[in-house]
Amino acid sequence: MLSGLRPRCGWHHNVGARKGLALLERRQTDGTIHLPACQPAALAAYDFHGVRVKIGADSEEVVSLFDKAYHFFRDSDVSEPHLEMNLLVKGRGREGTGGSVLYVRVPLHFDAWRFSLLSWWGDTSGGRRFQQNLHKLEAEADAGGMGYQLYRIDEVQDWAGNCFDGLELLFFTFVMHHLPHLCSLHAAVASRDGQGVVFGGPSGSGKSVLSYALARRGFRFLGDEYCLFAPASLQVFPFPRSLKFKPEGMSLFPQLKSMAEPADTINGDRGGHFVDLAKLGFKVTREPARASFLLFVSHEVGALPRLTPLSSPDAIQLLEKNRGLFAHAPREDRSYSRSEAAEALCNNARCYHLLSGDPDKTVDLIDTLID
């Protein structure tokens, strides 16, 4: 059993018989769908800025990988989560877990999450596959009278790429749906002396490499995948997960190879490895920082690092083009639109295009910019 990951039965408390590790639906004579009691191989709970999430699976590997990624948010209290997800791995393939089914349990007063997911996906092939595989089951009530909505999501790997990506997408969208004062950017964030530096860019542009290089030089690490931005206060909030390095990124820092364990691999070689923040000795903070700089990153091997100033309209256009900023909460719950959030960020931060090359020389350039 994994240290700190506790098995727990909790999907439908009124069913006493354990059905092995499988989570199977059963229909009562009154037509109500219930989930039988289960004993996940591993379970972990987290508190993401006040939104509590509990994750379990019949596969220790899935929960272990998730826990290694997000242990910064680990919560010892597994009672009354806002979101409960339990994954049944039906088959294991060479590069992941194929054909898996995910059951999701959400308090009725904390629901409407499904619509956030569908609006985020939009009319894309992934979104259409997700909609085909998402099934809203009938609501249930526990002994205390709390109402819950149940969902079943089939063929998780089919629309997510792998089980970890599926779990991460679902919980992150849910968390952000219930934090209306925050929007998200696909970006890395580091800070120094209260000044936040946001690095936007597509996957593979070197955000994790820059995060690591900056942290080695004393910057605080707020995250390398998600940036949480508050348009009203112009602050960025930490959402750190263990650094995820692709093979080409790890090759820049030989010392990382000894830290990456086979169990930390996600989606085979294509996805790279998670490296524990504790092993890296990072200064990880729970304190927000002001969004002082917004850098759009591109990387060229051997290039001389260079900063090119961007006007606010050009920076806003880049955010729009890259769909780099998302407002997840329902419009009636937030005081800003997506375009207003982009304007708040780009009008108040100093915006640049950053061509990165050698990591240490790139950090020298960023140091000069902040000073």
Considering the domain boundaries, does residue 19 fall inside one?
no
Considering the domain boundaries, does residue 1 fall inside one?
no
Choosing from 158, 177, 196, the residue where a domain stops is: 177
pLDDT at position 187, please?
Answer: 92
Could you tell me if 361 and 304 lie in one domain? Answer: yes
Could you tell me if 173 and 201 lie in one domain? Answer: no
Beta bridge partners of 273: 245, 265
Amino acid making up residue 131 = Q
Considering the domain boundaries, does residue 14 fall inside one?
no
Beta bridge partners of 351: 294
Identify which of 74, 160, 147 has the alpha carbon closest to the alpha carbon of residue 105: 147
Considering the domain boundaries, does residue 16 fall inside one?
no
Could you tell me if 231 and 265 lie in one domain? Answer: yes
Specify the residue for token string 């009938």.
138
Helix, strand, coil percentages in the chain from 3-state DSSP, rounded to 5: 30, 30, 40
Could you tell me if 149 and 261 lie in one domain? Answer: no
Identify which of 210, 223, 242, 282 has the alpha carbon closest to the alpha carbon of residue 49: 223
Dist. CA 10–CA 84, nearest whole Å: 9
Rounded to 5 degrees, φ, ψ at 148 are -130, 145
Residues in contact with 177: Cβ distance below 8 Å, sequence separation at least 6, in sequence order: 112, 113, 116, 328, 329, 330
Structure tokens at 207: 């955000």
Lowest average pLDDT, out of 78-87, 318-327, 329-338, goes to 318-327
Considering the domain boundaries, does residue 7 fall inside one?
no
pLDDT at position 271, please?
Answer: 59
* Residues 110-132 pLDDT 10s: 887 777 776 666 666 767 777 78
Dist. CA 366–CA 195, nearest whole Å: 12
* Residues 125-156 pLDDT 10s: 767 777 788 888 877 766 556 688 888 888 77
Tell me if 327 sits within 8 A of 357, measured CB to CB: no
Could you tell me if 216 and 116 lie in one domain? Answer: no
Coil, strand, or helix at residue 133?
Answer: helix
Considering the domain boundaries, does residue 33 fall inside one?
yes
Could you tell me if 157 and 294 lie in one domain? Answer: no
Could you tell me if 290 and 352 lie in one domain? Answer: yes
* Residues 216-273 pLDDT 10s: 899 999 998 899 999 999 999 999 988 877 777 777 776 776 666 655 555 544 456 7
Structure tokens at 154: 């089939």
Choosing from 128, 161, 177, the residue where a domain stops is: 177
Choosing from 150, 177, 204, the residue where a domain stops is: 177
Dist. CA 355–CA 336, nearest whole Å: 32
pLDDT at position 145, please?
Answer: 61
Could you tell me if 252 and 126 lie in one domain? Answer: no
CATH number at residue 248: 3.40.50
Dist. CA 204–CA 250, nearest whole Å: 12
Residues 252, 283, 255: CA angle, nearest 5 degrees: 25
Its domain, for residue 210, covers 183-370
Could you tell me if 115 and 190 lie in one domain? Answer: no
pLDDT at position 31, please?
Answer: 41
